[in-house]
Every structure is written in C-alpha cells, then in structure tokens.
Structure 1
Amino acid sequence: MTDALPSSTDVLIVGAGIAGASLAAALAPYRRVLMIEAEDAPGYHATGRSAAFWQETYGGPGVQPLSIASFGALQDPPRDFSARGFLSPRTAINLARRDDAVAVDAFAAGFSARGVPIERMSAAEIERRVPGVRPEWSEAAYEASCSDIDVGALHAAYLRAAKRAGAMLATRARLDGARRTGTGWEVGLGHETLRADLIVNAAGAWADQLAEACGAAPLGIQPFRRTIIQLRLDYPVPASLPLVIDIGGAFYFKGESEGRIWLSPHDETPSPPCDAAPEELDVALAIERLRQVVDWPVAAVERKWAGLRSFAPDRLPVFGADPRVPGFIWCAGQGGFGIQTSPAISALLAAQLGAPAPEGAIAGIDPAPYTPSRFA
C-alpha cells in the first residue's frame, strides 16, 4: 500500500484511475480524502490503456458540454497544477464511402448547429491528408480542434495535486464490504476496518459490483472490450496523420511515429470486469478493415492491447448521490470519454461533496442529466 490506512476519513474514493484521481484532486483541499486501489498501481486498467485523444464530437451531444468545458483546463491548466498543458494538435477526419455522403452531411450539420467547428472535406483534401486512401472513401467531415492527450502526465498531475492537498492513496487495497452505521460507513479492507462519511464509486468496470457490496442497486454499467494495435507500415505515413474515424464506427487510426499508426477495429465486445487482453480475431479484423481504406502495406504488428470502456445504459456518464443509499456516490460509466471530460466531471461532483462551485465554462453545466437518479 502506498500510504498506511487511517482509521477514518470523510470521503473514501474506490478506484484511483482518472475518475477517482481527478475527484480527489478537486475535493482534497476541502475534505479528508482516501483513495483505495485494488491494483499494484493506480491507472492500470482503462486509464493506462486509452487511445488518448480529445474530440468534441466523441460521445455525442450529451457528452459534448462536458468535453468542451474541460478543454481549457486540459490545454492551459493552472501553473500550480502543471507547468505545461496536456494537449497537442492532432485534427480528426470523420471518413465515409461515397454512398454515405448523406450520413456525413447530417453528422456535420448536426454538430455545426451545436457550435462545433466542423467542415466538409473534398475528395482531393482527403487524399492530401490521408495519402493512399482508396478512391471510394471520398466523403468526410474535418475537426481541426481534435487533440492528443498526454494521459500519463494528466493522471500523474491529478495524483500529485491530491497528495499535496492531503489526500491519501492505498494500493493493493480491495473493498471487501461496507455497511451503513448511524454516522456513515464501516468499511472492510482485508484485515483492516475504517470509517467513512461517504463512499465514492469510481471503480470503472467494477462499478456495479462495488455498488452491490455496499448495498446499492446496480445501474447496468456494462464494460466493453476495445482493442488497439500499433502497426509498422512499409509506407511513409507521417506521425502527424490525423485521427481517421469511420463515420459508421468500424475503425479508427492515427499516426504514432514515422511509418507507424495506432489502429482499432472500434470493437465493443461485452465483457465481465477483468484484466482485458486483445483477441487475435479482433487484431486481424482491424488490419482487414484498414486494408479496405488505404493501400498501406503492413510490415509488422508491434504492439497490441485491450482495455475496458464502461457505459451506463444511456451511454452518458453517471455522477452524483445514489437516490436510495445515503452516503453512496457514483462516479462511473464514463465510457471512452472519461479522460477528456475529467476536469468538468470532477469539479461538478466535488461541488456536490463540499468543494466550492466550479467557475468558468464548467459552471454553466447542468449536472441533472448525469445523476444516478435518472435510473431510479
């Protein structure tokens, strides 16, 4: 364990990935906070396996307010939080075949109406930005604001900020059970017992299991496996290659370094909570889909990995107090957009738990659509 367990705390955050760490950083200046993490180190699962990009359209209209409100904090964080920003320019191309022009038009028009800087691309412009693209992939919508996220640096900054403010972190600490008392919670952690006023469920793929251990009803948080591979190509693809996403959700890829890309078949395979591993069928499927889009010879599969992205039934994040179990707080169901929305979600939830109300763009977000009470 990183820190010795205290006998009591105001807020026990279960999970020290991006959701738990960002909340701890926002809340620790105002409440006593303890994070517990079942693994040897925080960020082992979804946070450490992210494809690491910020895209305003990702997650759809319901997630967009959280993403855009988080952009400033990611691009230009306070100096006492980080000496540099966490974003670097990438751009994105939402790509489709010639027969899917209507779908691209609707996608671009819908997000343009919501203020997203998105524009249609010509076939010649697609070819210029994605050299070697096959002629039938002639329709696209371009997002100049898409950026890479330095996820490791962001997660580490949240953990540092939380520690500076007095938060404690215990690794290899698994919650075995919890029961309500007259004043809060009595929590079992192996041979240890501690008291907490509040429990925050930031357990990612294990969110429903944790809820049941605390006597709360599960919300239907479902983990899905997502596969990513790093390919070395016999083609001079630049490291700055845009994020290229199939408008129909069959693949995405982006430049990694000269002649290398990260590629995903955009798979969403239901999975139990686990240490996810890539399936060879999904790796082969990703490469086959890439070959249908570009004429880049594949030299080698250099890396492959998988992570779990967990969604609520309506695919919106869930944060706020459980409607039936006092003192049980949800911070889960963040899908693949938990990193790019972490500044907004952590500030909004921290304000519900004793921190000051957020300022700036985050202050204008109504948290009501994201509360667990919507499933009651």
Structure 2
Amino acid sequence: MTSAPPSATDVLIVGAGIAGAGLAAMLAPHRRVTIIEAEEAPGVHATGRSAAFWHETYGGAGVQPLSTASFEPLAHPDAAFSERPFLSPRVALTIGRREESAAVEAYAREFAARGVEVERLSGDALAARIPGLRPGWQEGAREPTCSDIDVAALHAAYLRAAKRAGADLVLCAPLQRARRSGERWIVETGRGEIAASLIVNAAGAWADGIAASCGVRPVGIQPLRRTVLQVRLGVPVPAALPLILHVGGDFYFKGESEGRVWLSPHDETPSAPCDAIPEEIDVAVAIERLQSVVDWPVAAIEKKWAGLRSFAPDRLPVFGPDRDESAFVWCAGQGGFGIQTSPAISALLAAELGAPLPLGAIAGVDPAPYAPSRFT
C-alpha cells in the first residue's frame, strides 16, 4: 500500500479500522479504492481494543442476523483469504440472580425462537460451570457456539486482501474537509487532495464529525467509553472459563490464561472522540462487580485499557448511502459488535456499491433496517 495519496480514486474510505478494512477487502476487486487513516497505523482505536469474542446474541435481536451470518466466514474463511479460522471455541453463559429468573427466561426464549442454540441452566448446573459462584446467582442461559475472535489476524487479512486487489492505504492522512465539484468530491487530507466519486465514512467515533466536514448532516453517532481489565487471581481459574455476561448488562468476564481473566463493567460513558483511557472509578466498579459474582481474590490488575464503542440513536449499525447525499456512504455505529459483524456488514455494503453479493447466509440478511434513511 502507498505512503502518499493518489490524486484520484473511485471510492475513498475514511478510517482503516475493521469497518474500513473489511469494506476495502470486499470492494477493491471491483472498484478503485483508497483508504485514508488519521493515525500512524490502522486499527489503533476500537479495533485494537476489542474484547475479541463472537457472541451470537450480543447487541440484541436487531444485530443478531448480522452476527449469525458472519459466523461461517469467520469460522471457515476462504483459503485465499486466510489459511486458518479466526474463531476458537469459548461458550457463553448469560447469568442472573434468583430474582432475575424472568429476564433470563425471556432472553433464552427470544433467541431460541430466532434459531440461536440456547440451553437454560440453573442452580447446581450453573455453579458447576462457574467455580466459586456466589449464592444467589441461580439463573443462566448457555450458548455453546460462542467463540473468541483473533481480531489482529482478521484485520490484517482484510488489509492484505485489499492490497492484493489494488487498494491504497494512506496513513497520517486525516480528512480535513471535502466539497463537491461536479460529479466528484475534492477531499483535503493531511497529505494532500484526493478526488473521489464516493466517500465512505468508516471513521468510528469520529463519524459524525467526518460527515459535518463534508457538509452532510450527522446521524447522531455517540461514542461511549468501555473499560477492560486483565486481572490475575488468587485461585486457579481455568483459561477456558466461559464468557460470562450479566443478563442486565452490568459486567462480562472470560478466562484469558490460567488464573487470569478479562473483565469489563460493561460501562457506557458518553465521550468526545478521543484516544480513550480507563478511569479509576470504572476499574474499581469492575472489580467490585466481579467479586459480587464469584469468590475469587484479585491478586493484581495486570493491564487496563479503554476504547470507544459508537452507537446510533437506535443502537443498530448504520451502513449505506446518506439520506440526502447519495455519494456519501455511512459505515458506522457498530457499537461493541463491529468485529463479529464485519463479514456481513462489509459484504452487504460492498454489494450496494458495486460488488457481487456472496452466496450463503449473508445474502439472506435484509440491509434495510440498517440504512441511514431510517433517520429522518
């Protein structure tokens, strides 16, 4: 990929995280594509700070079709794209206190009706799967298809595929402003001007700001800070511990290695677009919530980080041509589920922009609920 921007391109993708890289990989064989990235390396914000799991129901019923359709490309990628799968088995347990039985039951019933493999657990059956589970946590739903995602490998594979197909990647090139000139955009970047037929806004937390810089109405993308820790425990919790999530959304944690877990308080603190850092109060809340669930002593906090998860007002992803300016295309608002839905979103949006729609489950997903035109 190139170190200097071309003078003209067909499709200019703003942002080289998972959204921009995935779209470029799907679209570059069919149109001339350039990706511009404000940072010195691609994927340093939300993509590089993901908790790295595929959980079919994560994000709710509106997101689940995209996650379900993305499983096969992640689990069994084409050999030309990757020599090995991006998923490894994990299992998920969504749990609740005794008084949250109705919520867990409703969760299990809703997604079972949508074809998700869900098994209800309670009492001793749940405690047998979570060593040290405290009394009172009696309700659970088990999803055996949950998997870890090798995010770095997936992101790198998208970028390699885009490069092989002739896409350009230009780093340290923030979009400063853009204007229409006849049938083309004239885009000013930190590295010079680029003329483009289409702009794709895959800028994550910066998506609304990019729209404003192009004279396009924002859709209301709100960045929310999410905190994650790696903690070393004083008990030998197995690395294969399931992904454990609260039915009410107060936490998730999963085994990382023997005696270590990744942990989040599932915080969603509104933030301006920035290089997010964890707040000590959120770190403390995460530890408190973990210890309210299990009797594991925390020996040390080994790592802590934060990232911005960006949501549209209805918490569904936004992809497709803008409601007013058809030459400005959105690929934003992927919340905390952007990695696990990236194969479906990339393929569906690429098909709208001139690529063929792949066969399989992705072809059966209706993109209409995710179109920017829903915001009027």
Give the TM-score, by structure 2 length. Answer: 0.99
Aligned residues: 376
CA deviations on 1:53-100 (whole Å, 9 max, x unpaired) are 001110111111110100000000000000000000000110111111
Query: 2:13 is matched with which residue?
Result: 13
1:133 CA displacement:
0.4
- Is the 1:215–1:325 contact (alpha carbons within 8 Å) kept by the matching residues of 2? no
Q: Please tell me whether residue 87 in structure 1 is matched to residue 92 in structure 2.
A: no
Question: Which is further off, 355-364 or 79-88?
Answer: 355-364
| d(CA) in 1 for partners of 2:3, 2:79 | 27
1:358 CA displacement:
2.6
Query: 1:140 is matched with which residue?
Result: 140
1:357 CA displacement:
2.2
Query: 2:193 is matched with which residue?
Result: 193
Percent sequence identity over matched residues?
Answer: 70
SS of residue matched to 1:339: helix
| d(CA) in 1 for partners of 2:190, 2:4 | 13
Unmatched 5+ stretches in structure 1: none
The residue identity in structure 1 corresponding to 2:326 is P
1:181 CA displacement:
1.2
Question: Which is further off, 23-32 or 127-136?
Answer: 127-136
The residue identity in structure 2 corresponding to 1:98 is R
- Is the 1:243–1:252 contact (alpha carbons within 8 Å) kept by the matching residues of 2? yes
1:190 CA displacement:
2.7
1:2 CA displacement:
4.8
Q: Please tell me whether residue 228 in structure 1 is matched to residue 228 in structure 2.
A: yes
1:230 CA displacement:
0.4
Query: 1:289 is matched with which residue?
Result: 289
| d(CA) in 2 for partners of 1:30, 1:133 | 53
RMSD: 0.9
Unmatched 5+ stretches in structure 2: none
SS of residue matched to 1:107: helix
- Is the 2:173–2:191 contact (alpha carbons within 8 Å) kept by the matching residues of 1? no
Matches within 5 A, 1:105-254: 105-190=105-190, 192-254=192-254
- Is the 2:231–2:303 contact (alpha carbons within 8 Å) kept by the matching residues of 1? yes
1:359 CA displacement:
1.5
1:145 CA displacement:
0.6
1:191 CA displacement:
5.4
SS of residue matched to 2:339: coil
The residue identity in structure 2 corresponding to 1:367 is P
Query: 1:277 is matched with which residue?
Result: 277
The residue identity in structure 2 corresponding to 1:298 is V
Query: 2:104 is matched with which residue?
Result: 104
- Is the 1:208–1:219 contact (alpha carbons within 8 Å) kept by the matching residues of 2? yes
Q: Please tell me whether residue 337 in structure 1 is matched to residue 331 in structure 2.
A: no
- Is the 2:25–2:159 contact (alpha carbons within 8 Å) kept by the matching residues of 1? yes
| d(CA) in 2 for partners of 1:138, 1:61 | 24
| d(CA) in 2 for partners of 1:283, 1:122 | 29
CA deviations on 1:242-266 (whole Å, 9 max, x unpaired) are 0000111111100000000000001
